[in-house]
Amino acid sequence: MPSTVAVPGATLAFDVAGPPDAPAVLFVHAGVATRAMWDPQFAELANDHRVIRYDTRGYGASPGEAVAYSEVDDLVAVLDAADAASAVLVGASRGGRFALDATLAHPDRVTGLVLIGSNPSGQRFDGIAYTENERALERAMDEAERAEDVDALVRIEVQLWDLGPDRDSDEVDPAFLERAIELNVGAAHWDFAGTPAAPERPAIDRLGEVDVPTLVVIGDHDVSDAKVAAALLVEGIPGAEQARFADAAHLPSVEHPERFTELLRDWLGRHGL
């Protein structure tokens, strides 16, 4: 059973494992998954790190009310509940966005930053050359949302994000496709009506202020704006490193867990984290 922490308007479920005095790593999931997306990394790193993961508000086992809230405040509340004074933040997609916001808002709480397919808050999307497949999938997603067709929405989201707009299901491992669907079905509470607050100063204008080791991970089959974001992050964050997965889309840590864990372990070791 997960632990929980009460925050204004919600209860957040989280897990903690590993030696209490070891360096801490906090995993933040993508919008098409829950904290379960980190199962392989959570189990492996618990051997010598204090590992923490949580379901963000409105996802998985973290129900929430229709109130305004801060994803950064929620993240810090989980760190506090896990007795972690500081941690490396590993965030996928939207989880990376507010991991970056938390790094800027609370630099004393963050020792390192890993961003996977993440867009910085405040990124502008005008001028991005989206493919026709991306535009068609976005239109289909909007139609499914209006029709409240959850089954169709899951199918479209898995295609767009997990497979990527340019791959077919027969081009990926069937076990990964099954896992992608499983994670998506258990992810969002479709009736969740909370309103996340944007940071007063968006990260896109503050990338040069990030002062911790940073790794930017991107899949070659990811969506166009995530690829643009990866380039912006690498260019804007001092000393940022980039790792590319030629055979993955938005969730390389799920599609290729062993390779991603090896990458993460190597990066943590090189930076003494």
Q: What residue ranges of the chain have pLDDT lower than 70?
A: none
Kindly report the number of other CB atoms within 10 A of residue 4's CB atom: 16
134 neighbors 240 (Cβ within 8 angstroms): no
The model's pTM: 0.97
List b or e across 23-35, with b for residues whose CB sees 16 or more CB atoms inside 10 angstroms.
bbbbbbbbbbbbb
205 neighbors 124 (Cβ within 8 angstroms): no
For 158, the token pair is 């898995």
Tokens 């992608």, residue located: 180
Position 53: which residue type? Answer: R
The Cα-based distances of 207 to 62, 93, 212, 233, 235 in angstroms read 30, 17, 11, 7, 9
The Cα-based distances of 201 to 74, 169, 175, 198, 207 in angstroms read 18, 40, 41, 8, 11
Helix (H) or strand (E) holding 224: helix 224-236
> Which residues of the chain are in CATH 3.40.50.1820 domains?
3-124+190-270
Residue 187, pLDDT score: 87
Return all residues near 22 (Cβ < 8 A) that are at least 6 apart.
Answer: 48, 49, 50
Report how far apart the first and last C-alpha atoms of the chain are (Å, whole number).
28
Residue 194: burial class (beta carbons within 10 Å; 0-12, 13-18, 19+) = middle
pLDDT tens-digit readout, 158-195: 999 999 999 999 999 999 999 999 999 988 777 899 99
Nearest to 60 by CA among 189, 221, 249: 189
**Signed CA dihedral, 167, 171, 173, 175: sign only:** positive
Residue 1, pLDDT score: 78
**What is the distance between the alpha carbons of residues 232 and 9, in angstroms, rounded to a whole number?**
34
**What is the distance between the alpha carbons of residues 221 and 117, in angstroms, rounded to a whole number?**
11
Return all residues near 46 (Cβ < 8 A) that are at least 6 apart.
Answer: 17, 18
Fold topology of 3-124+190-270: Rossmann fold (3.40.50)
* Ramachandran angles phi, psi of 69, nearest 5°: -155, 170
